[in-house]
């Protein structure tokens, strides 16, 4: 389970707007906004869709047991090549892998 704070932080970390996250995950903006406020009721797959979208953009969700101290968190996946990749603001369907 991920938290509303993790969703907001992950979106901010990759520079994705609320509208971009909604469009990329295939959800209404209102649903994504509700998830970011901690309202996990509604469509059961919405949280999964948001998490999958953020993970596809390089986010790793950390549970409270993944670190020596602290609670749930987020981090960016390490790059595995020398390629700088595509900046978040340049991501679109045309350059999807």
**Per-residue model confidence (pLDDT) at position 91:** 77
Domain boundaries, the chain: 2-74
Among 57, 50, 12, 45, which residue's Cα sits nearest to residue 29? 50
pTM beyond 0.85: the answer is no
pLDDT at position 84? 64
* CA dist., res. 30 & res. 79, Å (int): 33
Predicted confidence (pLDDT) at residue 80 exceeds the cutoff of 70: no
For 1-29, the pLDDT digits (tens) are 889 999 999 999 999 999 999 999 999 99
Q: What are the backbone angles phi and psi of residue 51, rounded to the nearest 5°?
A: -60, -45
Tens of pLDDT, residues 22-62: 999 999 999 999 999 998 887 779 999 999 999 999 999 98
Superfamily of domain 2-74: lambda repressor-like DNA-binding domains (1.10.260.40)
Return the number of other C-beta atoms located less than 10 Å from residue 27's C-beta.
Answer: 22
């Amino acid at each position: 389970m991920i938290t509303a704070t993790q969703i907001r932080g992950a979106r901010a970390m990759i520079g994705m707007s609320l509208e971009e996250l909604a469009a990329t995950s295939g959800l209404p903006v209102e649903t994504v906004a509700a998830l970011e406020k901690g309202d996990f009721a509604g469509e059961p797959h919405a949280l999964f869709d948001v998490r999958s979208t953020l993970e596809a953009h390089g986010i790793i969700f950390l549970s409270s047991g993944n670190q020596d101290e602290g609670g749930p968190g987020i981090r960016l996946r390490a790059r595995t090549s020398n390629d700088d990749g595509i900046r978040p603001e340049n991501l679109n369907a045309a350059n999807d892998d």
